[in-house]
């Protein structure tokens, strides 16, 4: 590796989190109910339930206490500082600040929590990378207008942005308006990504879908993101905004032209479309045709298009966990993924949750997105969900180290290819609640949290082997990836 270009001196090393998956304290200090709060736990085999009327006797709601970052943030941030982080990705929980989403004035107590988190980060010179929306839509907005299918959500969201940008204009530089915005190209996106609950939806994995309202919601988020970028820049021209794409890298299963064409179409729809809008500032040709062919219609005003063209982002960020194959064959063996499964790749191994591990796919993806957009790139999620065992205060997670090491090697190769990669925030800093299954035992963290799927445990934090290893990686600016 020595002959390769090095990681840049100011490379951003850290890890990621999301408020609804780590904070807990779901109903304190004026916080309202978010869409995550009404989701039950599940497993790989039994889907999470969406319960508009919560029943805490019948179900377990993992976000309610999560891993209690709300009361452990000082300890967690100190541990991140010990690893040497210079960036920490987090989201703000909308419902702490506007409990129902539609209030005129923010909840001061909710803001005070984020004041404290930011000042704690500052103490260690850790740059916050703030996701404004990461599955924390106020549940009230589902009741009021079925979430983002309604244009009113743009204004509600802008109220949140106005408060955040003014209050934290000298504290936060990096902003991500929406986490994995492209998930709204799939029906799974309805709930988490837009707070849309269609009649007939009971389970997270089997949602009733109306493509026109789903794509309207996505359109509203494009407009909101663009308006946020413009507003933010008017408040502080040094702010930097990023798109955040759930990148499900796709390969043709075979070299049959059918598989190749299908793969290209899938890549355009799932991976490229949202980035194209947010980076290039307009709707691409292929999506217009897709809408026509599928009878998808919603309102797009002239002003929307102006907003979108004027509010393009500064960097491209994405999550990368796996790759999948695409094929026209009907009987190909399948694997799953965070929003989209695909055909099984015979060259790759998968995790217990059936997500295929493909480090080289990260180099491929980095080249793919940099070639398409030519703006700085950040990997804002990447990691291994696995069952860890805590024994005598230690967690020997060599499998996670192996996963991360092989991905970081490919990052270095991509830098050598010429990609302008500026940061890496793997998922996740500490263990937290899994989105797809609601489990905590599907662990991703460098920091182990003593908490299980049913809410048992002391919440005590432990350093995993990967914690010490990542510290060494950061100390050596990505040079020393060895593990003994």
What is the token pair recorded at 408? 């970081």
Say which of 136, 381, 409, 439 is annotated catalytic. 381
**Binders of ligand BG6 in range 97-136 (CB under 6 A):** none
Neighbours of 53 (CB within 10 A): 5
Smaller CB separation from ligand BG6, 259 or 358: 358
> In angstroms, what is the minimal distance from the CB of 14 to ligand BG6?
15
> In angstroms, what is the minimal distance from the CB of 336 to ligand BG6?
10
Measured distance CA(224)–CA(249) in Å, rounded? 27
182 is an interface residue for ligand BG6 by CB under 6 A:
no
Measured distance CA(179)–CA(338) in Å, rounded? 13
Smaller CB separation from ligand BG6, 201 or 436: 436
Cα three-residue angle 380-382-386, rounded to 5 degrees: 140
382 is an interface residue for ligand BG6 by CB under 6 A:
no
> In angstroms, what is the minimal distance from the CB of 230 to ligand BG6?
25
Measured distance CA(218)–CA(180) in Å, rounded? 11
436 is an interface residue for ligand BG6 by CB under 6 A:
yes
Q: Which residues of 166-200 are buried (b: 16+ CB within 10 A; e: fewer)?
A: ebbeebbebbbbbbbbbbbbbbbbbbbbbbbbbee
Measured distance CA(69)–CA(79) in Å, rounded? 12
14 is an interface residue for ligand BG6 by CB under 6 A:
no
Among 434, 440, 445, 449, binds ligand BG6 (CB under 6 A): 434
388 is an interface residue for ligand BG6 by CB under 6 A:
no
> In angstroms, what is the minimal distance from the CB of 391 to ligand BG6?
24
Residue 180 among the catalytic residues: yes
Measured distance CA(187)–CA(193) in Å, rounded? 10
Smaller CB separation from ligand BG6, 179 or 317: 179
Among 142, 159, 227, 319, binds ligand BG6 (CB under 6 A): 319
Say which of 120, 136, 180, 266 is annotated catalytic. 180
Q: Which residues of 465-474 are buried (b: 16+ CB within 10 A; e: fewer)?
A: bbbebbbebb
Measured distance CA(173)–CA(178) in Å, rounded? 16
**Binders of ligand BG6 in range 19-38 (CB under 6 A):** 21
User: Which residues make up the interface to ligand BG6 (CB under 6 A)?
Assistant: 18, 21, 179-180, 246, 319, 338, 381, 385, 427, 434-436, 442
Residues tagged active-site: 180, 381
């Amino acid at each position: 590796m020595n002959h390769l270009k090095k990681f840049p001196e100011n490379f951003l090393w850290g890890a990621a989190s999301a408020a609804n998956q780590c904070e807990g304290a779901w109903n304190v200090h004026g916080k309202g109910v978010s869409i995550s709060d009404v989701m039950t736990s599940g497993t790989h085999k039994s889907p999470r339930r969406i319960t508009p009327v919560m029943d805490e006797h019948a179900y377990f709601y993992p976000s309610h206490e999560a891993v209690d970052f709300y009361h452990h943030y000082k300890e967690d941030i100190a541990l991140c500082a010990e690893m040497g982080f210079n960036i920490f990705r987090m989201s703000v929980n909308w419902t702490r600040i506007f409990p129902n989403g539609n209030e005129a004035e923010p909840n001061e107590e909710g803001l005070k929590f984020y004041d404290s988190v930011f000042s704690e980060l500052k103490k260690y010179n850790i740059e916050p990378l703030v996701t404004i929306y990461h599955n924390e839509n106020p549940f009230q907005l589902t009741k009021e207008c079925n979430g983002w299918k309604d244009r009113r959500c743009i204004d509600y969201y802008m109220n949140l942005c106005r408060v955040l940008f003014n209050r934290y204009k000298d504290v936060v530089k990096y902003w991500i308006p929406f986490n994995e915005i492209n998930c709204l190209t799939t029906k799974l996106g309805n709930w988490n990504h837009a707070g849309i609950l269609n009649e007939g939806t009971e389970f997270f994995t089997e949602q009733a879908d109306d493509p026109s309202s789903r794509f309207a919601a996505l359109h509203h988020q494009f407009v909101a993101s663009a308006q946020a970028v413009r507003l933010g820049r008017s408040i502080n021209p040094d702010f930097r905004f990023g798109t955040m794409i759930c990148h499900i890298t796709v390969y043709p299963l075979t070299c049959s032209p059918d598989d190749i064409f299908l793969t290209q179409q899938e890549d355009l729809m799932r991976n490229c479309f949202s980035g194209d809008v947010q980076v290039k500032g307009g709707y691409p040709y292929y999506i217009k045709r897709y809408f026509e062919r599928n009878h998808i219609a919603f309102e797009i005003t002239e002003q929307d298009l102006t907003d979108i063209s004027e509010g393009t982002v500064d960097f491209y960020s994405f999550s990368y966990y796996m790759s999948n194959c695409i094929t026209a064959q009907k009987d190909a063996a399948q694997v799953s993924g965070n929003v989209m499964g695909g055909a099984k790749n015979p060259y790759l191994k998968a995790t217990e949750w059936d997500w295929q591990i493909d480090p080289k796919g990260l180099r491929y993806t980095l080249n793919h997105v940099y070639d398409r957009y030519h703006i700085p790139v950040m990997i804002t999620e990447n990691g291994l969900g696995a069952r860890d065992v805590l024994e005598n205060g230690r967690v020997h997670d060599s499998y996670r180290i192996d996963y991360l090491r092989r991905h970081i090697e490919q990052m270095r190769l991509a830098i050598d290819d010429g990609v302008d990669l500026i940061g890496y925030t793997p998922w996740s800093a500490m263990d937290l609640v899994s989105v797809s299954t609601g489990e905590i035992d599907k662990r991703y963290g460098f920091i182990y949290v003593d908490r299980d799927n049913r809410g048992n445990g002391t919440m005590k934090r432990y350093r995993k082997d990967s914690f010490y290893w990542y510290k060494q990686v950061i100390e050596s600016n990505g040079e020393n990836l060895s593990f003994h």
